[in-house]
Structure 1
Amino acid sequence: MVKRFLIAAIIVGLFLGGVGYFNLVFKPKMIGEFMAKMVPPPATVTAEAAKTESWIDRVHAIGTLVAIEGVDVAPQVGGIVTDYFFESGYDVAKGEKLVTLDTSVEEADLADNKATLQQTNLDF
């Protein structure tokens, strides 16, 4: 029984030793020799005769332009625009009138408040 176990251990040891030798010594040596003998393929080169051509110095492209100087205009109060005094892209000066808002609602509120004030002054 011991003899059988000893023979099996020797066979397994030889097998594992062979696998280890193959992976650690033989295989790297073969790969190194193959890589040393390998010659890379020559580079493909094409040539064409030089010729003169006209050059177009324009490129058609799609993009977005942003103004260097610009301003976003917003009113202090909301309302309906009844008239405007500029064209898109034109220059305007500071303080220049740009739009007219519909002020009929505000004028009616003002008249109502004036009447309320007069009535209050008469009552007291």
Structure 2
Amino acid sequence: MPGVSVPRISKEDLKKRIDEGTSPTVVDARLKYPYEHSTVRIPGAIRFNGDGPMPAFPRDRDVVVYDSDPSELASSHVAAVLIRQGFRASALKGGIAEWLSANLPIETKDAPKQAPPEPGALKG
């Protein structure tokens, strides 16, 4: 399959579009461990990392995909999948780390629940 050129969007441009009411569909494509061990996401983000069925993204809106990798590897992969499906997709430059470092809006999500200790495991 030929490579797809994935455009990038800056955190400033994404924030501006959100503020102006022209918000794209935002997709959280972080890998399993970084996603599950984080308690934050970009507001309104839909979880999709390329595995499993694709959510029904609106086709009349751009899609911005982010991950936790400063090189946007996972988000670029997911954005390429979406582009091949006919979506107008881009990757967020610098991922969620850049978004967080600029103190841009976030929303909280559930953290992983720790399994209770095995019976007798805490005996000294």
| TM-score, scaled relative to structure 2 | 0.19
Considering fraction of residues, name the structure with more strand.
2
Larger radius of gyration: 1
Higher RCO, Cα 8 Å, sep 6+ = 2
Considering fraction of residues, name the structure with more helix.
1
| TM-score, scaled relative to structure 1 | 0.19
